Amino acid sequence: MSRWSVLAFHGWGWSAASWQPWQDWFRAQGADFWAGDRGYWGSPQLDWPALGDRLWLLTHSWGLHWLPADLVARADCLICWGGFTAYHPELEPAKTQSQQALGQLRDAIASDPLAGLQGFYRQCYRPQTAPELPAIAPDRDRLLADLEQLDRSQLAIEPLLRIPQRLVLHGESDRIVPIERAQTLIDQLQPTAWKFWPRQGHALPVTAIADCQAWLQEVLAA
């Protein structure tokens, strides 16, 4: 009997807990589900279980950039929310403005990691309202180290192009990864299907769960 594995990779500042509704949904359809965790609140979770015959990868934002190469080589489907090829745009003045904004976030995390993350989440959720984070201090050093990787991020596109199904979902109102950078990803990744979601921001995989699931079912059944 064939097994279906679904592995999920969160973005900077998030955690494996953000995938809980998706875990429930995929497990109800018979998949083995695992979510990686960078360890901003507790120990990192980076060792995935034994894989099934089919492998799907879910990514949110910077999660697309910490996908292990051996998983990419085996994947049958990639579903990407809020993704980008490089965090900063190439052209000025947008590049400098983006770098300055990231520098401000870096300073905020260094000063008060919880307050800095709460401000980041407010931007992620807009135009929706962000929930209050639990009053648990995140790991400042891990956040800052990964923020440096985010700052220098440059996606290796070629291996991803070998994944048979590549789906991209992006919020039209995304304030973290503006829609122009999503279009750059689409141009290079050449997804089999993609959609821009009106009135949704960077937190799309947690603010429009039912709509995303309905769209995925329609696309994947075609």
pLDDT-above-70 percentage for the chain: 99
Global pTM reads 0.96
C-alpha angle 183/16/14, rounded to 5°? 55
> 8: domain range?
4-90+146-221
Q: Which two tokens stand for residue 16?
A: 């494996």
**Confidence grade of residue 1 (pLDDT, cut at 50, 70, 90):** low
pLDDT-above-90 percentage for the chain: 95
Task: Establish if 101 belongs to a structural domain.
Answer: no
Task: Establish if 114 belongs to a structural domain.
Answer: no
Task: Encode pLDDT of 79-125 as tens digits.
Answer: 999 999 999 988 899 899 999 999 999 999 999 999 999 999 999 99
- Could you give the number of structural domains in the chain? 1
Q: What is the 3-state secondary structure (H, E, C) of the chain?
A: CCCEEEEEECCCCCCHHHHHHHHHHHHHCCCEEEECECCCCCCCECCCCCCCCEEEEEEEHHHHHCCCHHHHHHCCEEEEECCCCCCCCCCCCHHHHHHHHHHHHHHHHHHCHHHHHHHHHHHHHCCCCCCCCCCCCCCHHHHHHHHHHHHCCCCCHHHHHCCCEEEEEEECCCCCCCHHHHHHHHHHHCCCEEEEECCCCCCHHHHCHHHHHHHHHHHHHC
Task: Establish if 59 belongs to a structural domain.
Answer: yes
d(CA 120, CA 108): 10
Task: Encode pLDDT of 122-163 as tens digits.
Answer: 999 999 999 999 999 999 999 999 999 999 999 999 999 999
Task: Establish if 171 belongs to a structural domain.
Answer: yes
Which residues in 119-155 are b (16+ Cβ under 10 Å) and which e?
bbbebbbbebebeeeeeeebbbeebeebbeebbebeb
d(CA 221, CA 130): 33
Given a cut of 90, whether residue 220 has pLDDT beyond it is: no
Determine contact, residues 154/179, Cβ cutoff 8 Å.
no
Task: Establish if 107 belongs to a structural domain.
Answer: no
CATH of the domain at 177: 3.40.50.1820
Task: Establish if 122 belongs to a structural domain.
Answer: no
Task: Establish if 34 belongs to a structural domain.
Answer: yes
User: Which amino acid makes up residue 53?
Assistant: D
Task: Establish if 106 belongs to a structural domain.
Answer: no
Q: What is the pLDDT of residue 132?
A: 94
Give the CA distances from residue 204 to residues 53, 81, 118, 148, 193, in Å, rounded to whole numbers and listed in that order: 29, 7, 17, 24, 17
Mean pLDDT of 11-34: 97
The values of phi and psi at residue 168, to 5°, are -125, 130
pLDDT, mean over the chain: 96
d(CA 126, CA 30): 33
